[in-house]
Structure 1
Amino acid sequence: MAGFSTAVTGLKASTTMLDVAGNNIANSSTVGFKASRTEFGDIYSTAVVGAGSSNTPGSGVTVTDIAQDFSAGTIEFTNNNLDLAINGSGFFKLDDGQGGVTYTRSGAFELDKEGNIVSKTGKFLQGYGLDADGNRLPVENMKVTEKESPPKATENIDLSFNIDSREDAGGLLPVYNKDEPGSFTYTTTDRTFDSLGNEHTIKYNFAEQRPVRQVYDYALDPAAGYPTISGVTLVAGDFDAATGALIDNSPTTTGYDDLALADDRIDLSTLNYDAATGRLSFELKSWASDLGDLVVRDGALAEATQINTDVDDMYRDANETRTYNISINGDKSTELGVDGSIEIAGVSIPISSTDNAEEIVTAIKNREAQILDRNPEVESIAIDTSGTVPTFTIRFKADEGNVDDSANNFIPKISTDAAIPAASGDLVIGDQTINNASGQVTDQAIGFDSVVQGDNSYQGNYRMYAYLNNEELLDIGKLQDPGEGLESEPGPILISFNPSNGLLQSINGEDFPAGGQVPSITISGADPANELTEISLDLAGTTQFASASIVKASQQDGYTKGDLIGVTFAGTGEMIASYSNGENQSLGVVALATFENQDGLQPSGDTEWIATLDSGAAIVNPPGTGLNGTLRSAALEASNVDLSEELVKLIEGQRNYQANSKTLETMNTITQAILQI
């Protein structure tokens, strides 16, 4: 009877089913384990001829396959950064060091004594190495090769800040001193490192240009010939023979133009040379900083002697001033003899017939408050009655710069009710002379006797100094004084803001548009361990707004020596080493393998599989590419075994086993009955 064999196949199949379910249950806590499923097929014996399925009872059951379920298990987080889980498809590639390659979903890795990342069975995790530029190298053993991070000298600094535009530069001390906060507007520091990893600081001081013009006065030997300034030799034709003033665009020489190119800090309209005495004087434009050791020589190339070494003598205010003389009959005591008025900046000031020149300027001074209230451009009204001829002076605010001479509001006017009596003589006010022959005067415009033009180009200009450890003045690109060379030297450079929008517009003489590329500043000498080190300072984003002076961003790329404190992995597979100096370094990229048919993989134990002809060759890529999933550090993939389902399979297996046993028992009973016939 074939029934005995049929029942035996059922018993064997049920036993296999129980074995698979038991194995799944046993590995329900195995990291990376994939549950198996028993698949069955029926057995039919067929003859070559004369047989068909309709009259064949069948020969039992066989186990056609024990298939594995590669669905992902639950990701559980751990405290070990070397625990890895794949969020998606893919397998870790392992190498036993002897040519054997297996694949696993179990990411419980650790470091061996040589720094290799290995599985619990000692197999090496495979990944891509990285070269110095971060390019991927061929797949190899993943290894923590850098146990320490060598020091790196600072090479780049990004610094942006805001300087409060409301700060009054007029209140700064006239002489800059790095140790005197009252001589500069703003200061900030950056931490840097030298080539040996020693920490230093670079302190930056920003001294806003005060509303002054600097005055320089030199003594030269007149017999030696005309002076050389900023490397430009001037000749007699450059100067007005009567006044000594430098001639603009002289037809006989190009000295003016050459000097304008050689040193644009000098206001050439103020340059004057007395050929008889050898006295040379000029002013700087108000935006310019100190000339320092400007090279001025006489015709024999002997250096000139600077005369005005006293600070008070070296500066004059950048304000515009207009001075007017007043006299009646040539003095200050003669009475005018007629009523009238003087209008100054829209304010009418009455004068009486008994007023003399001194009383007229006093009356003007008495109306100063009204003039200032009506004209915010005016800073003060000053009078001087000490001399024979009294004067009054209108002083404009420095921010106004050069005030238009034709501005009607600031042109004084005089009116009289009648002609000035002959006994009073002439009234001289400003550049106007009025006598009895003039008759009654109505709104007669008065011109000034003398004017000092204003210059507000100082606005938004700062001298920037840099110091190593607040001691050594650094070279940040200040060019040597004209005539001395083309190299840079320690000292300040000029940075400028646009006064209308507060944006940085110029660095060390290099202009750039709003939103344009900001020129970098090269700092030399900030690495005591290596004099060749240069630091590039980027001030992009720096502003001068009416808000508190603050650092908006500060970052530098140097660091000291560091020791390895840990390794972690990014989602894209990068193995990142962390060091005690705060630096991170990418040491490699984990390689993940996928297969055209992962069901064709052959289990090899320890939750590992081997590639077969059915699975196809492994396709290796970094995480996050192709069909690979992403990587999670400090996490493990749990077994995907469903215990409830497996317990149900145990019941099914037991039922099947009992039923097949009953078949065998029944066949035995029938056989016994036949034997008893």
Structure 2
Amino acid sequence: MSFQQGLSGLNAASSSLDVIGNNISNSSTVGFKSGSANFSDIYAASLGIVSGAKIGIGVGIGAVQQQFTQGNLTTTNNPLDLALNGGGFFRLSDEGAISYTRNGQFHIDNDGYVINDQRARLTGYPVAANGAITPSNPIELQISAGQIAPRASSDPLAGELRAVLNLDSRDSAPAISPFDYSDPETYNFSTALTVFDTLGVVHNMTTFYVLNGPTAPGQWTVHATLDGADPKVVEGGNLIFNTSGALDPASALRDLPSWSLTTGAVSPWSPGKMDFTGTTQYGSGSNVDRLTQGGFTSGSLVGVGVNADGTVQGRYSNGQTRNMGQVVLASFADPNGLLSLGNNQWSLTSLSGPELIGAPASGSRGVIQSAAVEDSNVDLTKQLVDMITAQRNYQANAQTIKTQDQIMQTLVNLR
């Protein structure tokens, strides 16, 4: 029986060396998870043998377990290189066939799909028309290279224009009247803001602030011009301040005038409402604390990035960003039950349990780091030591066969 024991030991040691060799050969493979050979002893089931007197008949490989420990992260120059820091797997679709991977080396094909080197497509949650992520059945993520439409400053989605100013309470009413935007002696303060019409054409809107006479202390009339023409008084009344320099809330929101346009956009056109909430009249120089609007011109895609929560965002030439989807991660009750397909991919089996899909950083799923990859988790030092151990095991088992052969030869020679 020693021949069988020694032979089983040789086979087990050889399999162990195969596992170690595979680990070493994949020490530079992105997302690779090292394996370890688990040994199990073998006993013959025979009747009439006392339990304590049983002698084993060798060893076998019980299983080759993959170690799903975290690998180191290495930065790259590709924003679609995605590293997983924590649990989970990227979910891929290859013509409907679903697989899973820890290798986050992705790029975009000529149809805009996010793919890996085997052209399997990364899946994720779709994005609604308003840019909101919609958790639903994952789809193949596709990056649109088209332009985004302009948004007028008057669009409800742009919100009100916002002006937070301080108007100097020490000022006196202008000595020259009436107001003339070309004459600085007829107003106290002015500031300019870029606005966009319904075609995304840029216009320069300037607002002028005129302190009323002594009969109306703390009241300022606001005039506005568009592209330096047609000055008009902002509708709704004056800005009114109390004796503490605070703006009366009733005068905070004012309608801006309308102007005729020749750009082909809606005409006449008004940039909308201007919100002066937070504006003050203190005894310091007039200045602008905040001046904002929500319009923009059309823009072309100039870059793509992925946030830690898996949100894929496009960056555009007009300074805007747009959500394009969200990468999903799959987790499993028993990752070692997954079937290895090669190319750093696995498929689910009955042993792994069903896929549990969710956004990164939810549950036990890790977070995503863009422009980085997860290195192989192979510890080369440990593998080289394990290889020496497996080699010694192989030699020792070969020696048992050699010794058994010598014993058998001695018995044959007794006659």
Q: Does 1:501 align with 2:237?
A: no
Cα deviation for residue 55 of structure 1 reads 2.1
> Kindly, what percent of the aligned residue pairs are identical?
34
Structure-2 change in CA distance of 1:181 and 1:577 (3 Å): same
TM-score relative to the length of structure 1: 0.58
| Partners of 1:177 and 1:633 in 2: CA distance | 54
More displaced stretch, 596-605 vs 182-191: 596-605
Q: Does 1:183 align with 2:186?
A: yes
Q: Does 1:168 align with 2:166?
A: no
What SS does the corresponding residue of 2:191 show, helix, strand or coil?
strand
Structure-2 change in CA distance of 1:523 and 1:65 (3 Å): farther
| Partners of 1:208 and 1:475 in 2: CA distance | 13
2:226 is matched with 468
| Partners of 1:206 and 1:592 in 2: CA distance | 55
Cα deviation for residue 75 of structure 1 reads 1.2
Cα deviation for residue 645 of structure 1 reads 0.6
1:596 is matched with 333
| Partners of 1:610 and 1:571 in 2: CA distance | 25
Q: CA RMSD in A?
A: 1.7
What SS does the corresponding residue of 1:148 show, helix, strand or coil?
coil
| Partners of 2:179 and 2:268 in 1: CA distance | 29
Structure 2: which 5+ runs fail to align?
155-159
**Is this contact kept in 2: 1:577–1:585, CA < 8 A?**
yes
Q: Does 1:54 align with 2:58?
A: no
1:95 is matched with 93
**Is this contact kept in 2: 1:151–1:560, CA < 8 A?**
yes
Structure-2 change in CA distance of 1:68 and 1:147 (3 Å): same
Structure-2 change in CA distance of 1:111 and 1:135 (3 Å): closer
**Is this contact kept in 2: 1:565–1:579, CA < 8 A?**
yes
| One-letter identity of the residue aligned with 1:17 | S
**Is this contact kept in 2: 1:160–1:553, CA < 8 A?**
yes
Matches within 5 A, 1:432-511: 458-474=216-232, 476-477=234-235, 493-498=237-242, 500-505=243-248, 510=250
The one of 389, 402, 408 aligned to 1:665: 402
**Is this contact kept in 1: 2:221–2:233, CA < 8 A?**
no
Structure-2 change in CA distance of 1:103 and 1:533 (3 Å): farther
The one of 114, 119, 127 aligned to 1:117: 114
**Is this contact kept in 2: 1:468–1:526, CA < 8 A?**
no
What SS does the corresponding residue of 2:285 show, helix, strand or coil?
coil
**Is this contact kept in 2: 1:476–1:524, CA < 8 A?**
no
**Is this contact kept in 2: 1:523–1:537, CA < 8 A?**
no
**Is this contact kept in 1: 2:113–2:141, CA < 8 A?**
yes
1:210 is matched with 213
2:276 is matched with 539
1:617 is matched with 354
| Partners of 1:544 and 1:472 in 2: CA distance | 27
2:259 is matched with 525
Cα deviation for residue 174 of structure 1 reads 2.8
1:13 is matched with 12
2:291 is matched with 554
The one of 163, 170, 183 aligned to 1:159: 163
Matches within 5 A, 1:251-290: 286=215
| One-letter identity of the residue aligned with 1:85 | A
The one of 66, 69, 72 aligned to 2:67: 69
Aligned residues: 404
Q: Does 1:192 align with 2:190?
A: no
| Partners of 1:94 and 1:461 in 2: CA distance | 64
| Partners of 2:313 and 2:41 in 1: CA distance | 55
Cα deviation for residue 532 of structure 1 reads 6.7
1:438 is matched with none
| Partners of 1:533 and 1:565 in 2: CA distance | 31
Q: Does 1:132 align with 2:129?
A: yes
Cα deviation for residue 90 of structure 1 reads 1.0
Write the deviation string for residues 459-506 of structure 1: whole angstroms up to 9, x where unpaired.
Answer: 11111011111212357425xxxxxxxxxxxxxx411111x2111115
**Is this contact kept in 2: 1:153–1:527, CA < 8 A?**
no
**Is this contact kept in 1: 2:235–2:254, CA < 8 A?**
no
